[in-house]
Chains A and B, each alone.
Chain A
Amino acid sequence: MTMAAASRELPLVPAPPRSSLAAQVGAAERRHLWRMLALLAPSVLFTALFFAAPLALFMFRSVDNPEIPGHLPRTAAVMQGWSGEGEPNEAAFTALAADLRAIRETPALGLIGRRLNYALPGFRGLLTRTARRLPAEDAGSVKAAFLAIDQKWRDPAVWGVLHQQSGRLTSFYLLTALDLEKSPEGEIRQVAPEQRIFIDLYGRTLTVSLGVTALCLLIAYPVAAVMARAGPRAASWMLMLVLVPFWTSLLVRSTAWVILLQNEGLVNKSLIALGLIDKPLPLIFNRAGVFIAMVHVLLPYAILPIYSVMKGISGNHLRAAASLGAPPLRVFRTVYLPLTLPGVVAGGTLVFVLSVGFYVTPALVGGPGDQMIGYFIAYFTNSAVNWGLASALGAFLLLVVALIYLALGKLVGFDRLRVR
């Protein structure tokens, strides 16, 4: 009796005061949020550490200018205070002499020579020559001593470079990546015609990428449509066929195209044997080769997103349209195509972004007129060791891709750019 009464008095869950219900829900939601954040933390940390931070560091490299203020501190200080007009005074020469004496036996001289040589070819030689012959102590006019070693020290271009490159940050690499330079007077102008290269390269990279994207979509759309309508057995076989080249090394695939497409390759030999052509078609080491090989490499990236979207489209829509009297072309245009568009946009974006960064394939199957910007980024990173310029080229490439993405987002809606 008492027990029953007691149990009636004691609720299973202590009834909270009404006012704290909101607080409890809030607390539960906070706990949920923390749990979610804790689960997300590894990926957020990973992204920050291995994606965002290197990207930011690499972008910074394109304006970073540590060499001159670091290794020629006295000269940099004098240059910062100089107007840049006329010939520099004795103080500038004295500062440079002191700086050169401090680094002449060290690797810093080589590094600074390389850095200044980017801005003015020949500066490296001038600097090492001068450092080697400079007397141990200044006697009389330092300027005269410099001019006795090399008359080039009279050249306003030499001092213009020292003046412009003495700051902690520099616009040099960004300008160079756009085929621009600063004159000794500080005006921004185009570089000499025979040195203009990067604007053309960006144009070529974008043209090739757009062409590859268009070709990929044209080929991928019908393939995906057939796959989506095929029976499960046939579809899985076709999926296999699409995926096998996907799993093969890029290098192997590109090299295989060289073997197939060369003058005495299988393709040309067969065409000649069939009597379709009398002399071999130029299919490799030119733009045609680049298109063939890149479309082949990137095709799965176009097929898979389109296929996955098509797979989700119910046949009822099409049947409904047909039953209402629409001819097949109209069904396709007004029903099927709009429904598959998200897949097309996603596949196209994927292919375009990937092809913009291509360089191994064009290097292997293209001619010298088909090299893309990636080739030069790799060249400036690995061989020329001009990391500032490599970063600037990469930064502009990133910018161009971002702008295209934004424009596309505005055009078709950002939700459609997602790869499902």
Chain B
Amino acid sequence: MKIAAKATIAIALTLALAGLGGQGAAAETLTVVTQGGQPGDVQRKTVFEPFTAETGTAIRLDTFNQELARIRTQVETGNLVWDAVSLNPINEAAGCEEGLLEKIDWSKHADAKAFEAVGGFGACGAPYLASPGALVYDSAKLTGDAAPKNWADFWNVAKFPGKRALMYQPDQTLEIALMADGVAPADVVKVLTGPGGVDRAFKKLAEIKQHVKWWKSGDESMQLLLTGEVAMGYGWLGRVNAANASNNRKLRIVWNAGYTNALIYFGVMKGSPRKEAAIKLIAYQLSAPVQARHMEQLGNPPANTAANPLLSEARRAALPDPASRDGMMQAGSTYINFWLDNGDAIRQRFATFVAQ
């Protein structure tokens, strides 16, 4: 009898505590999803932890790899686990169109003018960082005339021997192929989305295919360069910075060969009960001082151009010159619609092409 009574009390207490804990967490905790890894750690230290300290809103972090299905299953079953999600431009557009994200007028929460240079806000998401991808080589191994100057050099296996690293995805890779075929970065979108553009890019890729190591993750792209498995490769700025810093190496980016530039957006899950808190966090992430603090550590260009003057001299020097026309923005309705319409078919063709 005594044991039973004690057990009842214990169970009741546990339930009460669990209930309280659950409710407390529901009111206070935002679940934010990013790609994780080293860039995720930087974001936690420079954005999320200060936000929690300033507002008292706790943040729980989760990671995802841009699998749109994970957002869709949550929204369709009404079982929302996430509140704010970090998205690539294609998923921002697709998720918005298919009603998986809240439509938000971000100009009410941030200075729209400062975001004009990167193409402004999406219908659902706000861009918070730019992620350029470019020609990378190890400047300790290739010096002087042996160092590549442009994508034509990258394609020239006779003069610049060695394997090449490219991404195992057609988006970005087809764009690079067109640049190697002599298309100016500013014209890549027009040529790619125009008649015969995709065929032209595949034809150019076929020239170099047998010398390419295809990477599937940012880590892998750097590993191939660091171990000397490839002579040069396509890589993302954030990864190059991390690889140089943690291995004390001298990987160098050739910005003026032409580079791709993708924006990363923050969106709010459709029907999130913590929409207001999520907007507050994203507005915080978009503000110039936070952008500067975040990008100073991460080494990526801020989406908010007002943050540029707040960066250190050394950091600014490592970024691509915003005034140059070497960058190819992976944005704009022509580009996004092209990939939404043809992405599946091109990815299938790409997988077949690479496997043969």
Contacts and interface: CB of A to CB of B under 8 A. Distances in A.
Interface of A: 106-107, 109-111, 113-114, 117-118, 121-125, 128, 194-197, 200, 262-264, 285, 363, 367-369, 371, 376, 381-387
Interface residues of B, number: 35
Given A113-B97, A114-B98, A381-B69, A263 B352 contact: no
B355 A106 contact: no
Interface of B: 66-70, 72, 94, 97-100, 168, 202, 213-214, 216, 223, 227-229, 337, 340-342, 344-345, 347-349, 351-356
Contacts of B100: 107
Contacts of A194: 202, 349, 352-353
B341 A195 contact: no
Closest 6 CB pairs of A and B: A107-B99, A110-B97, A110-B98, A382-B67, A368-B354, A121-B345
Contacts of A106: 99
Interface residues of chain A: helix, strand, loop or mixed (majority)? helix
Contacts of B98: 107, 110-111, 114
B216 A125 contact: no
A385 B223 CA distance: 30
A57 to B, nearest CB: 14
Nearest to A262: B227
A382 B223 CA distance: 26
Contact of A195 (B66, B216, B340, B352): B352
Nearest to A123: B341
Nearest to A106: B99
B72 A385 contact: yes
B164 to A, nearest CB: 13
B340 A125 contact: yes
A369 B68 contact: no
Contact of B355 (A109, A117, A121, A369): A369
A117 B227 contact: no
Given A264-B228, A382-B67, 6 more contacts: A113-B97, A194-B349, A195-B349, A262-B223, A367-B214, A368-B351
Contacts of A111: 98
Contacts of B213: 285, 367
Contacts of B348: 195, 197
Given A110-B97, A385-B68, A196 B344 contact: no
Nearest to A381: B69
**Residue among A110, A117, A118, A363 with the most chain B CB within 10 A?**
A110
A371 B99 contact: no
Contacts of A382: 67-70
Nearest to A367: B214
Contacts of B347: 384
A386 B344 contact: yes
B120 to A, nearest CB: 19
Contact of A124 (B68, B168, B340): B340
Given A113-B97, A128-B97, A263-B228, A383 B67 contact: yes
Nearest to B96: A110
A370 to B, nearest CB: 8
A369 B168 CA distance: 11
B344 A117 contact: yes
Given A263-B228, A383-B66, A122 B342 contact: yes
Given A110-B98, A111-B98, A262-B229, A371 B69 contact: no
A190 to B, nearest CB: 13
B341 A110 contact: no
23 contacts: A110-B97, A110-B99, A118-B344, A121-B345, A124-B341, A125-B340, A197-B348, A197-B355, A200-B352, A263-B227, A264-B227, A264-B228, A264-B229, A367-B214, A368-B168, A368-B351, A371-B351, A371-B355, A382-B67, A382-B69, A382-B70, A385-B68, A387-B69
Nearest to A383: B67
Contacts of A195: 345, 348-349, 352
A305 to B, nearest CB: 34
